[in-house]
Amino acid sequence: MKTDRQRVAVLFGGRSVEHEISVISALQLILAIDPAKFDVTPVYIAPNGSWYTGDALLQRSFYAKVPSALATLQEVILLPKPGVGGLLKIGSPESAVRELFTTRVDLIPIDVFLPVFHGQYGEDGCIQGLFEMADVPYTGSDFTSSAVTMNKYLCKRYLGAHGIPVLPAVVVQRGEAQADITGITDGITSQAGFSDFPLFVKPCNLGSSIGISRVKDRTELPAALAKAFKYDTIALVEPCVSQIMEINVSIRKATEIEASVVEIPVSSTGVLSYEEKYLRPGGKKSGPSQGMASLTRIIDPQDLDQDIKERVINLGKRSFELLGCSGVARLDFILDLSNGELYFNELNAFPGSCAFYLWARSHPRVLYTQLIEDMITTALRTHEVKASLDRNIGLKALK
Amino acid sequence: MITKFSAVLLILALLAFGWRRILTYLRYFQQEEYNRVRFLGWFKAQRAYDRRGSLVVLTVLLLNALIPAPWAAPLWGLLGSVALLVIVFLFEGDPRKTGKVKLNMTQRASKIALIAFVMYTLVALLPLGLVCFRCCESTDPLLVSAAFGLLLVQSPAWLLLDANRLLWPFERRLQESFVSDAKRILAELDPFVIGITGSYGKTGAKAALGELLTQCLGATFWPRKSINTVLGTTRAIREDLRPHHRFAVMEMGAYNIGSIKKLCDLTPPKAALVTAIGIMHLERFGGPENIYTAKSELAQALPPGGILVCNGDNPGARRMAKEHDKQTTLLYGMDSSSGPLDCLATDISFDDQGTTFVVHWRGNRYPGRTPLLGRPALSNALGAFTMACVLGADPAYAIACMANLQPVDNRLVLDRKGSVGFLRDAYNSNPTGFQAALEVLGTLPATRRILMTPGMIELGEQQFAQNKRVASIAAGVIDLAIIVGTVNREALLAGLSDGGFAVDKIITVDTRDEAFRVLTDNQAGGDLVLIENDLGDIHEGVVRF
């Protein structure tokens, strides 16, 4: 059946500690996609890395039955080869029989890929690299931007070099810590600005507050590093702004770069834990977690100084542009209340809940359905430009 | 017409009844590891024969005999069918969905159930055959029907045993092929294998060592949960061992003399960690010396250049280190009064966040902390620390990693719900663990301390004395006791009374569910509840079918 609707594969799950959050974000996103314009194929990447599709994926209750329920789904793959035109079905007995009689392989045609991942292998350029190899349109930032924004240290260094204010950081390699943690601890605390506690220790390439510790004194530093190294081979040590206010803003690029209203996430402990970000039910209503959309927060705080809001928005737009991002991102800033200094903290190339809750309150308001449509349109346009580039200059050196 | 309908319905009802009962008994048979002797032991102890089905059969036949009328037989048949269906489908829950340990329909379980059901069906159809051949014309039909009826409703448990025996040759061949496949995989990938055994603490030590090695030295494979049998280990190796694994930590459970030898044959160890030699499963072994002999098979399996790390606080483990001295033999512990220790923990204290301690290792002092609670968990972590350091880990980094260890499920885990704290120590209790849990219960802040326990089992002739002993210690720590079930009720009551515990502060209940209800009714802010031990269905309460 020929359809005029764009066939969109929404990819989620993945081999990241933020697997579940990705599922929540994706189910929200799929509900918001305009069915009159887009035909959604949900594609779930299981924790073991296998790809599956099937209508059962649209039910939240399905995920409680993983991995045993995976057997009821269709396994698919995306070949790293241009011109395939979609996802290939694999492993099904029917397709094996059919292949005996025909050379045509089972294909689920896809026009555009919409990755809804948080963290490693999905938000860090890995899957974007696969999309590039397969030469398919995909939404969001490309592989270079994704990779740089996911690496907190590289991102800070790069933005710092372009004049965006960032907090200093010390980077520690897992192998060095394993060999001599005492020496590493001494090395960190002897650096200027790192002898005063508390300090923050973070895995370099993770989001969602997993593996993060707030270290109160020197004796806690080795355990905090060891915790970060459970999840990453690189850890980052940063000074802790004692009088801190976190301010987030979402930036997107449709035709031009736009900013949402800002938000102040509210924490009960001073640091947003993974549980606070994702497991605390939203507001007064209790029920299943709605991901980032359920966090206790103040959106568009009326009593926040207009000047600060503008600085956040301007720094946000500039950082987004410098990093070459696309789609919808969320940028987190730290305001030092003691001196009014504002620092870039991190950029989420695909933020939890796609930051729709910020755009819904922005001026002008952008609804989630529109956000997604714009992301898809941009993806198709970007792919068109890339496809028009000359890749083939013919054989010369080998002749 | 109605007679035919009634007969068909009765046969269908008997078949449905049989299928459900086969599954019900299979759940217990599976928990007894398909062991005929153990299953029969349970069956005898619980007098788990059928009562309800038999009652229905006898009632139907009696009514039929007492009120002879043309309509009687079909009517009673209908009522009997309905009664049977009500018993198994409304009265008795689906064993795949109910109970603490649910029936897991593995391939083996499905095969046993299916064969037993085929046999049951043949038995059920036998009377029809007899009627066809008119064999029973000469004898009293009531007697014959009663005999067949009772035989049928009582048969499921026995048919399971027969089905298992019938399947065994095939099952064994299949198992052997899996085992040799696992051996081949292990030989090809050749990780450094560390075996862990002990009467208790194996699983905790395995998880701690697996985690420390992964964090400090390199990728480590360890079967999750308490997998410690040849088949469990075989499956774990075939499914999860990968080429990047540098170390493999294998828990080795001893069920008889020779079982650890078999495990060492499957995964030949280069190093061994012995957590404790105690009196757990005393009944199975027949005596403490046999337990020692069984556990020693691990030390014996080590090559002369191997590494043996033993818990120096445990006399049996200490003896093993002495009698099976290897190139590297080390002792760890918290009490050096019974001899020198290579790794010693001192300055131990507990709080809501876990345990703080100082480790003394090779002339250095390492202050540390871990979220694990209690001396047994700290002991396991110390064993893991010692082994990791011997294998090359930086001691300071290993200590740092101890701060990130996670407790193994239900092994003295503190969980706060509002202002009420629960210390869950529901896994296989033993005298050392019980006492250590009481120590933590006594140390953590609380306005009232509650102990909920069915006591400890599988301690042979020492069971009464040991339960009594810990209960008398508990008397000095707790403010309220909830005794679950009848297995150790007398011993626990005697111990509490010895310790001078007030009788009105003791509540006795039959099941865990009832205990939780009592707990909910009785709890108040500031309570700290120790849930010590949780017996499987095979030991809890009274089973009636």
3-state SS, A8-76, equals: EEEEEECCCCCHHHHHHHHHHHHHHCCCCCEEEEEEEECCCCCEEECHHHHCHHHHHHCCHHHHHCEEE
Give the integer Cα–Cα distance in Å for A70 and A51: 10
* DSSP single-letter state for residue B99: S
Average pLDDT along chain A: 88
Which residue intervals of B257-353 are DSSP H helices?
A: 259-266, 282-285, 288-301, 315-323
Q: Does residue B131 register a pLDDT over 70?
A: no
pLDDT value at residue B86:
81
Contact state of B394 with A179 under an 8 Å Cβ cutoff: yes
Per CB-CB distance under 8 Å, the chain A contacts of B366 are none
ipTM value for the complex:
0.78
Whole-number Cα distances in Å, A128 to A25, A132, A139, A140, B367 = 18, 6, 9, 9, 45
Nearest to A152 by CA among A214, A92, A200, A97: A200
The residue behind tokens 């079967």 is: B223
With an 8 Å Cβ cutoff, is B219 touching chain A? Answer: no
Give the integer Cα–Cα distance in Å for B407 and B391: 23
With an 8 Å Cβ cutoff, is B129 touching chain A? Answer: no
Contact state of A229 with B367 under an 8 Å Cβ cutoff: no
Give the integer Cα–Cα distance in Å for B127 and B129: 5
Residue of B nearest to A228 (CA): B404
Q: What is the DSSP string of B140-193?
A: -HHHHHHHHHHHHHH-HHHHHHHHHHHHHHHHHHHHHHHHHHHHHHHHHH--EE
Give the integer Cα–Cα distance in Å for A362 and A248: 13
Q: What is the pLDDT of residues B37-80, one digit of tens each?
A: 888 988 888 888 888 888 888 888 787 777 766 676 677 777 87
Please give the sequence-ordered ranges of beta strands (E in DSSP) within A140-283, or none if there are none: 170-173, 199-203, 213-215, 234-239, 244-253, 257-265
Structure tokens at B441: 């219960």
Q: Does residue B173 register a pLDDT over 80?
A: yes
Nearest to B449 by CA among B473, B484, B485: B473
In terms of pLDDT, which residue wins out, B162 or A207? B162
Give the integer Cα–Cα distance in Å for B316 and B319: 5
Q: What is the pLDDT of residues A109-121, one digit of tens each?
A: 999 999 999 988 9
pLDDT value at residue A286:
46
Highest average pLDDT, of A88-102, A199-213, B143-157, B201-215, comes from B201-215
Structure tokens at A109: 């045609």
Q: Does residue A283 register a pLDDT over 50?
A: no
Q: Does residue B304 register a pLDDT over 90?
A: no
**End-to-end C-alpha distance for chain A, whole angstroms:** 47
Determine the distance in angstroms separating the CA of A361 from the nearest CA of chain B, rounded to an integer: 36
Residue of A nearest to B214 (CA): A230
Structure tokens at A9: 């594969």
Structure tokens at B87: 């018993």
In terms of residues, how long is chain B? 545
Average pLDDT along chain B: 87
Residues of chain A above pLDDT 70, percent: 88
Lowest mean pLDDT among A78-87, B258-267, B517-526: B517-526
For residue A352, which amino acid is it?
G
Contact state of B400 with A230 under an 8 Å Cβ cutoff: no
Question: Across residues B499-526, what is the average pLDDT?
Answer: 87
Mutate to test the interface with A, among B105, B106, B394, B399 (most CBs of A within 10 A): B394
Give the integer Cα–Cα distance in Å for B371 and B43: 42
Query: Which pairing describes strands B527-532 and B448-453: parallel, antiparallel, or unpaired?
Result: parallel
Contact state of A182 with B396 under an 8 Å Cβ cutoff: yes
Strands in B364-370's sheet, in edge-to-edge order, are B220-221, B247-251, B192-197, B271-274, B307-311, B328-333, B343-351, B354-361, B364-370
Contact state of B369 with A180 under an 8 Å Cβ cutoff: no
pLDDT value at residue B141:
63
Residue B347's pLDDT band (cuts 50, 70, 90): very high
Q: Does residue B128 register a pLDDT over 80?
A: no
Q: Does residue A269 register a pLDDT over 60?
A: no
Contact state of B403 with A219 under an 8 Å Cβ cutoff: no
**End-to-end C-alpha distance for chain B, whole angstroms:** 33
Contact state of B400 with A226 under an 8 Å Cβ cutoff: yes
With an 8 Å Cβ cutoff, is A61 touching chain B? Answer: no
With an 8 Å Cβ cutoff, is A231 touching chain B? Answer: no
Question: Across residues A158-163, what is the average pLDDT?
Answer: 96
SS3 category, A95? helix
SS3 category, B507? strand
Residues of chain B above pLDDT 70, percent: 94
Contact state of A219 with B367 under an 8 Å Cβ cutoff: yes
Per CB-CB distance under 8 Å, the chain B contacts of A181 are 394, 396-397, 400
In terms of residues, how long is chain A? 399
Q: What is the pLDDT of residues B239-271, one digit of tens each?
A: 999 999 999 999 998 888 888 999 999 999 999
Determine the distance in angstroms separating the CA of A177 from the nearest CA of chain B, rounded to an integer: 7
Question: Across residues B315-340, what is the average pLDDT?
Answer: 90
Residues B88 and B127 sit within 8 Å (Cβ to Cβ): no
Give the integer Cα–Cα distance in Å for A350 and A24: 13
Containing A322, the helix (H) or strand (E) segment is helix A306-322
pLDDT value at residue A310:
95
Give the integer Cα–Cα distance in Å for A29 and A356: 9
With an 8 Å Cβ cutoff, is B217 touching chain A? Answer: yes
Q: Does residue A239 register a pLDDT over 70?
A: yes
Which residue intervals of A69-215 are DSSP H helices?
A: 93-101, 126-134, 143-150, 152-161, 174-179, 181-189
In terms of pLDDT, which residue wins out, B131 or B165? B165
With an 8 Å Cβ cutoff, is A219 touching chain B? Answer: yes
Cβ contacts of A387 within 8 Å, gap of 6 or more: A135
With an 8 Å Cβ cutoff, is A222 touching chain B? Answer: yes
Largest alpha-carbon pair distance within chain B? 95
Determine the distance in angstroms separating the CA of A180 from the nearest CA of chain B, rounded to an integer: 7
Give the integer Cα–Cα distance in Å for B442 and B437: 9
In terms of pLDDT, which residue wins out, A284 or B443? B443
Per CB-CB distance under 8 Å, the chain B contacts of A177 are 397
pLDDT value at residue A282:
43
Chain CA centroid to CA B350, Å: 28
pLDDT value at residue A95:
54
SS3 category, B449? strand
User: What does pTM read for this prediction?
Assistant: 0.80
With an 8 Å Cβ cutoff, is B240 touching chain A? Answer: no
Mutate to test the interface with A, among B213, B372, B397, B405 (most CBs of A within 10 A): B397
Give the integer Cα–Cα distance in Å for B421 and B245: 39
Per CB-CB distance under 8 Å, the chain B contacts of A182 are 396
Q: Does residue A154 register a pLDDT over 90?
A: yes
Phi-psi region of B418 (alpha: psi -120 to 50; beta: other; left: phi over 0): left
Residues of chain B above pLDDT 90, percent: 40
Whole-number Cα distances in Å, B259 to B168, B225, B229, B231 = 19, 19, 8, 12
Contact state of B216 with A178 under an 8 Å Cβ cutoff: yes
pLDDT value at residue B69:
67
With an 8 Å Cβ cutoff, is B207 touching chain A? Answer: no
Contact state of A223 with B400 under an 8 Å Cβ cutoff: yes
Contact state of B403 with A182 under an 8 Å Cβ cutoff: no
Per CB-CB distance under 8 Å, the chain B contacts of A235 are none
B contact residues 421-480, partner A, Cβ 8 Å cutoff: none
pLDDT value at residue A267:
67
SS3 category, A343? strand
Nearest to A222 by CA among A199, A205, A193: A199
- Which of A179, A182, A226 lies nearest to residue B401, judging by beta carbons? A226
Containing B350, the helix (H) or strand (E) segment is strand B343-351
Nearest to A329 by CA among A343, A318, A341: A318
Lowest mean pLDDT among A249-258, A272-281, A299-308, B311-320: A272-281
Structure tokens at A170: 């010390």
Determine the distance in angstroms separating the CA of A240 from the nearest CA of chain B, rounded to an integer: 21
Question: Across residues B405-428, what is the average pLDDT?
Answer: 84
Contact state of A180 with B403 under an 8 Å Cβ cutoff: no
With an 8 Å Cβ cutoff, is A226 touching chain B? Answer: yes
